Amino acid sequence: MEIKRELLELMLAVAKENHPNEIVALITGRKGIGEELIFLPFESGETMAIIHTDMLPLGMKILGSFHSHPRPILEPSQADLSMFSRIGKFHIIVAYPYDKKSWRCFDRYGNEIEVKILD
């Protein structure tokens, strides 16, 4: 799994800006490299974020998802695992305090996977 550094920095900034509410978006890109976030309508609060994937344009290639946890917990919840299993291959969780060490990437089963960050 690979993502662009600018994308990771954007995820951290968006999560921090929306704190204490969770935020959720989809990740897209080319050749398996995460390059952009797709924001669809979603509902959120301090303990949940639900994205409306039925609003996704037809034919759009989704690599995975991104969402935030307003507490410093990086492990996926049962609700996270349910979303992971439905869309994409990799899923990034960023957690408070939203710094360069407070994020992890998971596969659709909730197993942590390594990510190469591209400049």
- Do the domain assignments include residue 45? yes
Which residue range is the domain that position 81 belongs to? 17-105
C-beta of residue 26 within 8 angstroms of C-beta of residue 37: yes
Q: Provide the number of structural domains found in the chain.
A: 1
CA–CA separation, 11 and 94 (whole Å):
8
Q: For 48-82, what is each residue's pLDDT tens digit?
A: 888 877 777 777 889 999 999 999 999 999 999 99
CATH of the domain at 52: 3.40.140.10
Residues of the chain scoring pLDDT < 70: none
